[in-house]
């Protein structure tokens, strides 16, 4: 997402230059010095980039760790790092991603059970493709197939006391509507490469992550890397339809195997890089809003349309919809909302941070609730894409009723989707809807049936929760000592340069990580690939012309390889 006004991008140094800075040391003595510094600073997690010599309280609110580069080197690993910069790697990874895109692993809302509905069978084709494309992965890592199509790879580490690193992606994609195919610049399942972009459904959501993770593992195996910390790859196959069959089963296997808080960290798809306030931010999602779909059913007497009542069932349902939309949720910052941390980052480091927001920072919880509310109201003026990062949303998405033009509707159905603000609860949304429903019901002499299992009755308004999920637990973002967030931050700044700022972000939607909350507190929804010439782009996700910059893709592969190595060396359990 682009937060607030879009600014000119400040291109970070190339990865080769960063690597040269750390590896072109010339002598064994200097190598020893560098290694000693790394060890002394515990992988640079105690370093703080202070934007010059600014030691103000606002800077302390958003500490930045130094670049984190793996200490373990070998000729084979050095050769691998050089390979990342080669045309050969670029061409081969394009080919691998394109091949995955050509397999249309579409998830449909009406899919039947796994093993019964033949539309699942494209997953077999993708699994076969991955096996033939990444032979070292499949000869080195243990592969388990969970609920037929869930792919669970385990690269067992040499130190069983270390909790594993978990990398995630999903195999499925959003279907391409037949009516839109002619709108694509290149066919949606072609994997076409035009010299800059790889085109096709799944190129940015998220076969790029799937292939990027496997590519990184394949190269690490080939370079002789042997992990101390177990590495787990968990690939669901129905994320686009809520993930119950894939991640819902995979997570259960992992929690049973490793226990509550049994993993060190999870990286799944999510936020990337964005430009704002004159700075470039990496924005790993450390939280997700909750959601609840509420079905409203209005039952009214039928009859002939020639003798209508003052209000039909559709009219009453419309009145309730109008009342719901007339009472939107107010912007509100709870202390745990990670956007507060991002605002502190902008205030601390960004030259064009708005003065209208600056005057409300720093915010000291919990002593200044009035200041917090003023900050929320001011930030909400930046637009809906910002406001809904700290506001519960509501959207009336479906309405149906009536069967004939001369018959009064006896049953009218409305579906209202809510994305629940961080710090709020699903029950608060339910309570508000019940209150509004009672207002309409009293006016029309109807009974309210609210969120229970009772059968519908005549002359009633019934509220049902179709599906719901509380807001996700917020991932810790401390960088005091050695932390997973510190490893992510240091890896990102090592690859892209110290001009990149790391700020906590949140997801307005939900990923497969909704099923993994018990496996670890350290869940990051993060797309690490970045192309400074393109900047932030949704890349046509869920619509026509989905595409991905090859520069972003190759950088993502390199990021995964660095992160795996950095986690392996990090001094955390």
pLDDT band at 193 (very low <50, low <70, confident <90, very high): very high
d(CA 74, CA 54) in angstroms, rounded, equals: 39
Element (H, E) at 276: strand 273-276
The tokens of 434 are what? 């019940």
Judge if 297 and 262 occupy the same domain.
no
Judge if 425 and 448 occupy the same domain.
yes
Judge if 442 and 479 occupy the same domain.
no
Give per-residue pLDDT as tens, 475-504. 999 999 999 999 999 999 999 999 999 999
The residues that are catalytic are 172, 239
Last residue of a domain, one of 429, 444, 469: 469
CB 101 within 8 A of CB 189: yes
Question: In the chain, how many domains are there?
Answer: 2
Confidence check: pLDDT of 20 > 60:
no
**Does residue 350 belong to any structural domain of this protein?**
yes
**Mean model confidence pLDDT for the chain:** 89
- The verdict on whether residue 170 carries a ligand-binding annotation is yes
Judge if 431 and 494 occupy the same domain.
no
- The verdict on whether residue 542 carries a ligand-binding annotation is yes
* CATH number of residue 423's parent domain: 3.30.70.360
Judge if 302 and 222 occupy the same domain.
no
pLDDT band at 23 (very low <50, low <70, confident <90, very high): very low
Task: Return the pLDDT at 58.
Answer: 40
Mean pLDDT confidence for 229-248: 97
Last residue of a domain, one of 469, 487, 504: 469
The DSSP code for 406 is T
Of 572, 385, 348, which Cα lies nearest the Cα of 482? 572
- How far from each other are the two terminal CA atoms of the chain, in whole angstroms? 33
Of 177, 172, 184, which Cα lies nearest the Cα of 101? 172
Confidence check: pLDDT of 129 > 70:
yes
d(CA 12, CA 282) in angstroms, rounded, equals: 12
Partners of residue 502 on adjacent β-strands? 282
Judge if 148 and 248 occupy the same domain.
yes
Please report how many Cα atoms fall inside a 13 Å half-sphere around the Cα of residue 308, on the Cβ side: 14
**Does residue 194 belong to any structural domain of this protein?**
no
- The verdict on whether residue 138 carries a ligand-binding annotation is no
Judge if 410 and 507 occupy the same domain.
no
Last residue of a domain, one of 438, 469, 500: 469
d(CA 225, CA 223) in angstroms, rounded, equals: 6
Of 57, 58, 65, 12, which Cα lies nearest the Cα of 345? 58
Judge if 297 and 246 occupy the same domain.
no
Tell me the whole-structure pTM to 2 decimals. 0.88
Give per-residue pLDDT as tens, 370-415. 667 899 999 999 899 899 999 999 999 999 999 999 999 999 999 9
Percent of the chain past pLDDT 70, that is, above it, reads 87
Instruction: Tell me: cis bond preceding 206? Omega within 30 of 0 counts.
Output: yes
Judge if 360 and 408 occupy the same domain.
yes
* Domain boundaries, position 413: 290-469
The DSSP code for 128 is H
Of 115, 143, 118, 119, which Cα lies nearest the Cα of 131? 143
- The verdict on whether residue 410 carries a ligand-binding annotation is no
**Does residue 491 belong to any structural domain of this protein?**
yes
pLDDT band at 361 (very low <50, low <70, confident <90, very high): confident
Judge if 318 and 465 occupy the same domain.
yes
Give per-residue pLDDT as tens, 309-336. 999 999 999 999 999 999 999 999 999 9
**Does residue 246 belong to any structural domain of this protein?**
yes
Judge if 223 and 317 occupy the same domain.
no
Confidence check: pLDDT of 30 > 70:
no
d(CA 120, CA 235) in angstroms, rounded, equals: 15
pLDDT band at 363 (very low <50, low <70, confident <90, very high): low
Confidence check: pLDDT of 44 > 70:
no
Judge if 503 and 461 occupy the same domain.
no
**Does residue 8 belong to any structural domain of this protein?**
no
């Amino acid at each position: 997402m682009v937060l607030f006004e879009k600014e000119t991008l400040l291109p970070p140094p190339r990865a080769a230059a960063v690597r040269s800075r750390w590896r072109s040391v010339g002598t064994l003595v200097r190598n020893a010095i560098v290694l000693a510094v790394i060890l002394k600073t515990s992988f640079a997690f105690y370093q703080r980039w202070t934007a010059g010599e600014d030691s103000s309280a606002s800077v302390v609110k958003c500490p930045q760790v130094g670049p984190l580069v793996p200490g373990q080197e070998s000729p084979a690993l050095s050769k691998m790092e050089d390979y990342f910069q080669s045309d050969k790697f670029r061409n081969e990874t394009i080919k691998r991603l394109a091949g995955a895109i050509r397999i249309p692993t579409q998830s449909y809302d009406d899919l039947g059970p796994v093993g019964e509905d033949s539309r699942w069978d494209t997953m077999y084709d993708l699994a076969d493709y991955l096996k033939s494309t990444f032979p070292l992965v499949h000869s080195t890592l243990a592969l388990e197939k969970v609920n037929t199509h869930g792919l669970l790879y385990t690269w067992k580490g040499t130190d069983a006391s270390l909790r594993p690193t978990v990398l995630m992606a999903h195999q499925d994609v959003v279907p391409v509507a037949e009516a839109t195919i002619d709108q694509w610049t290149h066919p949606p399942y072609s994997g076409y490469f035009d010299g800059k972009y790889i085109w096709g459904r799944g190129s940015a959501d998220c076969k790029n992550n799937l292939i990027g993770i496997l590519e990184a593992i394949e190269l690490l195996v080939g370079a002789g890397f042997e992990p101390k910390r177990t590495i787990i790859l968990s690939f669901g196959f129905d994320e686009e339809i809520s993930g119950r069959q894939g991640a819902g089963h995979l997570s259960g296997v992992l929690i049973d195997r490793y226990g509550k808080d049994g993993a060190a960290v999870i990286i799944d798809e999510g936020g990337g890089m964005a430009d704002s306030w004159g700075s470039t931010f990496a924005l790993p999602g450390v939280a997700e809003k909750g959601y609840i779909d509420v079905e409203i059913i209005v039952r009214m007497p039928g009859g002939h349309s020639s003798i209508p009542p003052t209000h039909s069932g559709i009219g009453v349902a419309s009145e309730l919809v109008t009342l719901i939309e007339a009472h939107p949720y107010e912007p509100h910052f709870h202390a745990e909302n990670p956007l507060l941390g991002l605002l502190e980052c902008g205030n601390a480091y960004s030259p064009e941070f708005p003065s209208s927001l600056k005057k409300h920072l720093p915010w000291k919880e919990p002593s200044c609730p009035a200041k917090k509310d003023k900050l929320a109201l001011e930030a909400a003026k930046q637009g809906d894409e910002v406001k809904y990062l700290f506001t519960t949303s509501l959207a009336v998405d479906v309405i149906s009723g009536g069967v004939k033009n001369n018959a009064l509707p006896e049953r009218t159905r409305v579906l209202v989707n809510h994305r629940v603000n961080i710090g709020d609860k699903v029950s608060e949304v339910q309570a508000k809807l019940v209150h509004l429903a009672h207002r309409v019901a009293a006016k029309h002499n109807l009974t309210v049936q609210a969120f229970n299992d009772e059968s519908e009755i005549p002359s009633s308004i019934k509220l049902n929760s179709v599906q719901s999920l509380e807001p996700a637990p917020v991932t810790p973002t401390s960088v005091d000592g050695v932390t997973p967030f510190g490893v992510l931050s240091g890896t990102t700044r090592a690859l892209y340069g110290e001009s990149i700022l790391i700020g906590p972000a949140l997801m307005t939607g939900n990923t497969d990580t909704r099923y993994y909350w018990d496996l670890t507190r350290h869940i990051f929804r993060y797309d690490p690939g970045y192309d400074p010439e393109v900047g932030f782009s949704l890349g046509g996700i869920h619509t026509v012309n989905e595409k991905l910059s090859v520069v972003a893709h190759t950088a993502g592969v390199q990021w995964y390889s660095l992160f795996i190595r950095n986690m392996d060396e990090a001094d955390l359990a």
